[in-house]
């Protein structure tokens, strides 16, 4: 039987390809993997212990926090600080950034932006949820406290991005700008093992993912695109299939593997979109492009947008190259008539 390659072995192998690498970044990824295992443990026993349901508090977004939101946020923050390589964190669950500049983190070079538990409102009904993260090199001097400008970097400056999906199996998917690799947690080993090397998304597919309950509030171009997806056309393999879970990680993961497009356009209630640029759209866009797909906002390519606030919202379209280009074509045409 061929030996499984663990996440740590894979990280070390990649590090060996860069003679200038010091191991700091590898250590950071290692601790992200540990935090993921902690959250996975709690998700898997959520029906057996008092960790389901609302926490009784709201996060900065005005959304009621679930108990698992709070746990996941604390687990990742603890592990990132314990790594000694993270000098600051921007989290969906915290109004302001958190900085570390003493002790182990005195010489830390990296900042992390994260959504600790995406789709957590679905956890009570056993639907897949996930964690999304992005990693940047700090801009401010090492040894000092991280500043806001360290976090307000364009997505194109990311060092790495990834997500963990907690479902029928738990997977960690990440990129450092050299393709996308997926690791599945082997419960018997307690390790993430390489299961999906060099993931490439199909150029096109048959799945479109959007909350069609908001149809009347969508831009005309998106309404027309949905009708296009539903029309029968043998040449373009239509009609497409509508699949929407309501968890960005779960929807994107399925579409990346099978071929599809995820859409969260502007609506009457959310004219700038609803998803957050720093810790949802940027990391997913980086992964999408590295897998051969595309990601854009109505304001332009996601990775080229200049963030103005840590909880900034944008419109978001990501997935298979040809499908994303078709969405853009519909938006551009109907925006110009």
Residue 119 token pair: 């789709």
Q: Last residue of a domain, which of 166, 196, 226?
A: 196
Q: Which of 33, 20, 3, 28 is nearest to 170 (CA)?
A: 33
Confidence of residue 61 (pLDDT cuts 50, 70, 90): low
Q: Last residue of a domain, which of 196, 216, 246?
A: 196
pLDDT above 70 for 182: yes
Residue 79 lies in a domain: yes
Residue 235 lies in a domain: yes
pLDDT reported for residue 13? 83
Judged by DSSP in three states, 60 sits in coil
Structural domain count, the chain:
2
153-171 confidence digits (pLDDT tens) = 999 999 999 999 998 899 9
Q: Convert 116-127 into a string of H (helix), E (strand) and C (coil).
A: EEECHHHHHHCC
* 150 annotated to a ligand binding site: no
pLDDT reported for residue 55? 44
* 115 annotated to a ligand binding site: yes
Residue 177 token pair: 């700008």
Calpha distance 76→171 (Å, rounded): 16
* 335 annotated to a ligand binding site: no
Q: Last residue of a domain, which of 196, 223, 254?
A: 196
CATH number at 54 reads 3.30.540.10
* 117 annotated to a ligand binding site: yes
Say yes or no: 48 and 141 in one domain. yes
Judged by DSSP in three states, 265 sits in coil
Element (H, E) at 294: strand 294-297
209-233 confidence digits (pLDDT tens) = 999 999 999 999 999 999 999 999 9
Say yes or no: 77 and 131 in one domain. yes
Say yes or no: 134 and 69 in one domain. yes
Say yes or no: 136 and 162 in one domain. yes
Domain range for 187 is 7-196
Say yes or no: 26 and 143 in one domain. yes
Q: What percent of the chain lies above the pLDDT cut of 70?
A: 91
Q: Find the mean pLDDT for residues 256-279.
A: 95
Judged by DSSP in three states, 207 sits in strand
pLDDT reported for residue 57? 52
pLDDT reported for residue 64? 56
Residue 146 lies in a domain: yes
Calpha distance 257→184 (Å, rounded): 14
CA angle 222, 272, 166 (to 5 degrees): 80
Q: Are strands 207-209 and 241-242 parallel, antiparallel or unpaired?
A: parallel
pLDDT above 60 for 186: yes
87-123 confidence digits (pLDDT tens) = 999 999 999 999 998 888 889 999 999 999 998 777 7
CATH number at 307 reads 3.40.190.80
pLDDT reported for residue 56? 47
286-326 confidence digits (pLDDT tens) = 999 999 999 999 999 999 999 999 999 999 999 999 999 99
Half-sphere exposure (Cβ direction) of 262: Cα atoms closer than 13 Å: 28
pLDDT above 80 for 278: yes
* 308 annotated to a ligand binding site: no
* 120 annotated to a ligand binding site: yes
Residue 202 lies in a domain: no
pLDDT reported for residue 148? 96
Calpha distance 48→209 (Å, rounded): 32
Say yes or no: 20 and 162 in one domain. yes
* 119 annotated to a ligand binding site: yes
Cis status, amide bond into 239, omega within 30 of 0? yes
The model's pTM is: 0.92
Residue 2 lies in a domain: no
pLDDT above 90 for 4: no
Please report, for residues 8, 25, 105, 322, the alpha-carbon distance to residue 15 in angstroms, rounded to integers and kept in the order given. 10, 9, 21, 34
Say yes or no: 94 and 116 in one domain. yes
* 121 annotated to a ligand binding site: yes
Average pLDDT, the chain: 90
Residue 126 lies in a domain: yes
* 274 annotated to a ligand binding site: yes
Say yes or no: 155 and 239 in one domain. no
């Amino acid at each position: 039987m061929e030996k499984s390659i663990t996440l740590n072995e894979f990280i070390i192998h990649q590090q060996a390809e860069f003679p200038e690498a010091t191991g700091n970044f590898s250590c950071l990824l290692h601790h992200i993997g540990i935090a993921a295992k902690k959250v996975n443990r709690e998700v898997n026993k959520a029906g057996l212990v008092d960790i389901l349901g609302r926490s009784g508090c709201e996060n900065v977004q005005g959304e009621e926090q679930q108990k698992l939101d709070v746990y996941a946020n604390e687990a990742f923050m603890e592990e990132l600080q314990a790594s000694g390589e993270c000098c600051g964190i921007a989290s969906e669950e915290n109004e302001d950034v958190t900085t570390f500049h003493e002790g182990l983190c005195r010489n830390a070079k990296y900042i992390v932006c994260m959504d600790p538990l995406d789709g957590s409102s679905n956890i009570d009904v056993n639907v897949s949820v996930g964690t999304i993260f992005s990693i940047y090199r700090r801009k401010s001097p090492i040894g000092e406290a991280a500043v806001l400008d360290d976090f307000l970097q364009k997505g194109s400056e990311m060092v790495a991005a990834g997500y963990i999906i907690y479902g029928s199996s738990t997977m960690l998917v990440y990129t450092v700008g050299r393709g996308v690799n997926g690791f599945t947690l082997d419960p018997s080993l307690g390790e993430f093992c390489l299961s999906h090397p060099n993931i490439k998304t199909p150029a096109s597919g048959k799945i479109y993912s959007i909350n069609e309950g908001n149809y009347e509030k969508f831009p005309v171009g998106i309404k027309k695109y949905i009708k296009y997806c539903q029309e029968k056309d043998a040449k373009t393999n239509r009609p497409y299939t509508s699949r929407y879970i309501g968890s960005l990680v779960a929807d994107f993961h399925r579409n990346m593997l099978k071929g599809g497009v995820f859409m969260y356009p502007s609506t009457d209630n959310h004219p700038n979109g609803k998803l957050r640029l720093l810790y949802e759209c940027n990391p997913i866009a980086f992964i999408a492009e590295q897998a051969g797909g595309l990601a854009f906002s109505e304001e332009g390519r996601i990775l080229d947008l200049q963030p103005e606030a840590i909880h900034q919202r944008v419109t978001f379209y990501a997935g298979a190259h040809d499908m994303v280009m078709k969405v853009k074509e519909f938006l551009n045409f109907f925006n110009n008539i």
